[in-house]
Structure 1
Amino acid sequence: METTVARATDVDQREKAHYSPPWANTSIIGIAGSSGSGKTSLALAIVAELNLPWVVILSMDSFYRPLTPEQSQQAFRNERSETSRKGTCLQKQLECAMPDDDGSKKADIPLYSFEKHARLERTTTIYSPHVLILEGIFALHDPRILELMDLKTLTAISASLEGQVVRDVRDRGRDLEGCIKQWFSFVKPNFHKYVEPQRQVADIIVPRGVENKVAISMVSDRICKTLAQKSRLHQSELKRLGKAVENAPLSKNVMVLEETPQIKGINALLLDTDLPAEDFVFYFDRLVCMLIDK
């Protein structure tokens, strides 16, 4: 009986002391909009404005379903909607957005070629980003993804034939006649059916795309405030964990540095969220050198 109680106590202690690093709490930003409305350009502009490490753009275009030979022929004749080619692949998207508790999650993302109407053989890998920007026509469509998002953004709400033609001819190897055919057959009807309703759940609607510097600055500022709030919560959790295990015996393999005024000062600086990055690296290196010497 005593052994059982002791083991239960040990498990309870480990659960209380469980540590989840800050990068395991990914901030997810959704950017939706009509085809050719500048979603990718807006995402890139936000990344440039943020100027932060570990920011990843994940395009929902990457998750188009592979086509059968017959479906591929329809696509080359512009007789198949991009909407019908969209695979949910929700599980993969969630894997990218929600790393493991230790932040070790990585995901291999497929690459889709609009010229070939097929996935490429190679993939790209992302590792536990701090900020994940999910952009696509249906980025704000699935309630299961919406629940994970910190910010929901919608580009210009009107469907633009000009924007799609310019993009598809320039970047996707399409001809003008095929672009117009696909626009009136699929893109415009699907805009009213799928894209327009997403304005009801959007936090911010960004007209004029990358030209709207004020809106981009607002989105960037909101993301930075969200990250700052998560940082404060993380520090509070570190303090809680410290209290939870302060009386627990250390492993015999643990070596403790003498708590000198210098070490106390370095610890105080490292916990200051306003400390410039270059100073953080400098003082962290100092502490690491002391640990290695020990």
Structure 2
Amino acid sequence: MESSMRPVIIGVAGGTGSGKTTVAKEIFKQFSQSSIVLIEQDAYYKNQDHLTFEERLKTNYDHPLSFDNELLYAHLMQLADRSPIFKPSYDYANHTRAKEVTKIEPKDVIILEGILILEDERLRSMMDIKVFVDTDPDIRIIRRLVRDTKERGRSIDSVIDQYTSVVRPMHLQFVEPTKRYADLIIPEGGQNKVAIDLMATKIRTIIEQKKLDA
């Protein structure tokens, strides 16, 4: 494939527990890992080293301002120009950016996945395909309950309290409205094999066209 070809950038958005990560990973599996990279918006939460630990605990991770979209946009531009990036990582235990970074080489396909990637106009403008994974709220809260109690050691009460006080209102205010920007709305997330196969076919078509144009 031509190294001068601008990569195909796919945005996969949706609420917490919608299955957007599963969709992104299923698309990822359809391509050679030498030609595709998956970038999670969660890696780009803002650095909070300047705050005390108590102040960090108050961070609303479901608000657009919690993300360092400046850095994410700059990194996408670098990858589009075929330059490598050093992707940050986030330390959830200490509620701030970790010291470790991951070198990401430019690829032909970039999947950008996160709850609010369609909220930022600059990020949207770089995407060839914009996807919104749309799953019923009752399914999403159940998935979040299972994940946070099993994987993150949270109590059921704390998960429900966070969901009702922060996650749900932020979803309705910021995440749900971005559905209107989507080229494709996928119901039920990773279970929707037809939509995922269609996505992969469309991505291959775009790659072929870009190769011809390069």
**TM-score under structure 1 length normalisation:** 0.65
Q: What corresponds to 1:142 in structure 2?
A: 120
Q: What corresponds to 1:42 in structure 2?
A: 23
Aligned equivalents of 1:116, 1:155: Cα separation in 2: 30
Shift of 1:129: 1.7
- The answer (yes or no) to whether the contact 1:114–1:172 under 8 Å persists in 2 is no
Q: What corresponds to 2:185 in structure 1?
A: 205
Q: What corresponds to 1:238 in structure 2?
A: none
Letter in 1 for 2:158: G
SS at match of 1:223: helix
- The answer (yes or no) to whether the contact 1:63–1:86 under 8 Å persists in 2 is no
Residues 117 and 169 of structure 1: CA distance in aligned 2, closer, same or farther (over 3 Å): farther
Shift of 1:149: 0.5
Q: What corresponds to 2:56 in structure 1?
A: 72
Q: What corresponds to 2:14 in structure 1?
A: 33
Tell me the percent identity: 30
Q: What corresponds to 1:5 in structure 2?
A: none
Shift of 1:110: 1.1
Unpaired segments of 5 or more residues in structure 1?
Answer: 1-20, 75-79, 235-294
Residues 122 and 149 of structure 1: CA distance in aligned 2, closer, same or farther (over 3 Å): same
Aligned equivalents of 1:99, 1:63: Cα separation in 2: 15
Pick from 90, 93, 97 the counterpart of residue 72 of structure 2.
Answer: 93
Residues 97 and 144 of structure 1: CA distance in aligned 2, closer, same or farther (over 3 Å): same
Pick from 197, 219, 224 the counterpart of residue 204 of structure 2.
Answer: 224
Aligned equivalents of 2:186, 2:68: Cα separation in 1: 27
Pick from 150, 159, 162 the counterpart of residue 170 of structure 1.
Answer: 150
Aligned equivalents of 1:42, 1:118: Cα separation in 2: 27
Residues 232 and 85 of structure 1: CA distance in aligned 2, closer, same or farther (over 3 Å): closer
SS at match of 1:166: helix
- The answer (yes or no) to whether the contact 1:165–1:180 under 8 Å persists in 2 is yes
Residues 38 and 86 of structure 1: CA distance in aligned 2, closer, same or farther (over 3 Å): farther
Aligned residue runs from structure 1 range 1-294, under 5 A: 22-51=3-32, 53-67=34-48, 68-69=51-52, 70-74=54-58, 80-84=59-63, 86-99=65-78, 103=82, 105-159=83-137, 160-234=140-214
1:216-258 per-position Cα deviation (integer Å, ceiling 9, x unaligned): 0011111111101001112xxxxxxxxxxxxxxxxxxxxxxxx
Shift of 1:55: 0.8
1:92-119 per-position Cα deviation (integer Å, ceiling 9, x unaligned): 223332237873x111111113344232
Aligned equivalents of 1:37, 1:101: Cα separation in 2: 28
Shift of 1:128: 1.3
Question: Could you say which structure has the greater relative contact order, defined with CA pairs below 8 angstroms and 6 or more residues apart?
Answer: 2
Letter in 2 for 1:83: D
Unpaired segments of 5 or more residues in structure 2?
Answer: none
Shift of 1:36: 1.8
1:138-169 per-position Cα deviation (integer Å, ceiling 9, x unaligned): 11111111111000001124332111112222
Letter in 2 for 1:62: A
Count the aligned residue pairs.
208
Shift of 1:87: 3.8
Shift of 1:85: 7.8
- The answer (yes or no) to whether the contact 1:115–1:174 under 8 Å persists in 2 is no
SS at match of 2:162: helix
**TM-score under structure 2 length normalisation:** 0.88
Residues 84 and 142 of structure 1: CA distance in aligned 2, closer, same or farther (over 3 Å): closer
SS at match of 1:154: strand
Letter in 2 for 1:143: E
Aligned equivalents of 1:102, 1:120: Cα separation in 2: 26
